[in-house]
Amino acid sequence: MMSVDSDVARPPSPRVSVGRRAVAVLLTLVSFTGVGHALLGRWIRGVLWAGALALFGMSVPFVGFVGVVVVLGVHLAAVVDVMLVAPPVAGGPARLLALMMAVGVGLGGGVVKGVIRAVVSSPWSVPSGAMEPSLLQGDVFMADASVASPWRRRSLRRGEVLVFDPPRESSGPFVKRIIAMAGDSVRMDAGRLWVNGQPLARRAIAETCVASSPRSMELACAVYEETLGEHRYRVQVSDALASFPEREGACPAQLEPAGTGCRVPPGHLFVLGDNRDFSLDSRHFGAVPEDSIRGVGSYIYFSSEPGLRVRWDRVGRWMQ
């Protein structure tokens, strides 16, 4: 049987202007995933991409740096998809409708992103040298926010790096290490830390102290590996470090005198910086309320020195 070509003209494939396509790609690249798809009329496809990104994003604090790589890969794949995807068969939506769809997806994505940061994970940067040598100024790390109120999925642990709002009016949040919990007694004698009447195990390390300020360069300093619970981390201590409390019974706010030390009250934590000589912590502002917690550190996903020189050896390092 011979076939006969139809004389009926096929409708042209739907197209979008180069300008709209470019704006869609740019919005996907710099804004929330899915906005660019909505601008092209593919809002359902955009929601699916946004959902995939949110799903992988929630795993970031638990799977390590590979999670960051996967999230970036999904985001770039969404950008490529916006560059290649065809508009709906009926053609791209009118400009006003496309704008409304993009704004709707963007607002929804912003809400989802805010929820993830509040209850699952969030990035934080180290603003000072108070946590040296464990954390350096310029480190950026992911924090597990699921340990914060009211969604606390597990108990906090001694030795974890804590992100919290400072008890007093200060520019925060602060990044310190949990040393003692409710009911624990703590004191410091010539730089040696005691918890519940027992000195913390530590060993000297042949490392040079990190000197992030001119004053710190003037002190004789030593680096130790300190062990608290399941955490081992480095601290730096000088010979001039004062004892805590400076005199018996002189405990700061929210801490109760307990012999030669101070006891942590219920619902509070005692925190210290690893740079024991240059840290504003519980020795100064007292115990930290547990309801001020933002999260606990997970791993470093970026680090740079002044001048934006990347510290590649620190990227992807789990926090101790």
pLDDT at 185: 96
Interatomic CA distance for residues 251 and 273, integer angstroms: 18
Residue 4 has a pLDDT of 42
Please check the confidence at residue 5 and state whether its pLDDT lies above 50: no
Mean pLDDT calculated for residue range 20-26: 86
| pLDDT tens-digit map of 119-159 | 777 888 898 889 999 999 999 998 888 888 677 778 899 99
Question: What tokens appear for 129 in the block?
Answer: 């040298």
What does the pLDDT read at residue 215?
Answer: 57
- The β-bridge partners of 271 are 178
Q: Is the pLDDT of residue 171 over 80?
A: no
Residue 232 has pLDDT above 80, yes or no: yes
In this predicted model, what pLDDT tens digit does every residue of 195-223 receive, in sequence order?
999 999 999 998 888 876 555 555 678 89
Band of pLDDT at residue 6, cut at 50, 70 and 90: very low
As beta bridge partners, residue 309 has 305
Task: Give the pLDDT band (50/70/90) at residue 68.
Answer: confident
Out of 148-157, 189-198, 233-242, 299-308, give the one with best mean pLDDT: 189-198
Angle CA 272–277–280, to nearest 5: 50
Residue 71 has pLDDT above 90, yes or no: no
The pLDDT, as a whole number, for residue 162 is 94
- 169 or 242, which is more confident: 242
Has residue 282 got a pLDDT over 90? yes
Q: Is the pLDDT of residue 241 over 80?
A: no
pLDDT at 2 over 60: no
Q: What is the mean pLDDT of the chain?
A: 83
pLDDT at residue 11 tops 70: no
How high is the pLDDT of residue 217? Answer: 57
Q: What are phi and psi of 131, to 5 degrees?
A: -105, 10
pLDDT band at residue 274 using 50, 70 and 90 as cut-offs: very high
Residue type, 214: P
pLDDT band at 69 (very low <50, low <70, confident <90, very high): confident
The per-residue pLDDT for 154 is 82
- pLDDT in the model for residue 81: 92
- CB atoms inside a 10 Å sphere around CB 175: 25
* Residue 304 confidence (pLDDT) above 50: yes
What does residue 139 show for φ and ψ, rounded to 5 degrees?
Answer: -70, 140
More confident residue, 155 or 264: 264
Best-predicted range by mean pLDDT (1-15, 43-57, 203-217, 223-237): 223-237
**Virtual torsion, Cα 221, 223, 226, 231, nearest 10 deg:** 130
pLDDT band at 90 (very low <50, low <70, confident <90, very high): low
Q: What is the mean pLDDT of residues 243-263?
A: 89
Place 169 in a pLDDT band, splitting at 50, 70 and 90.
low
pTM above 0.85, yes or no: no
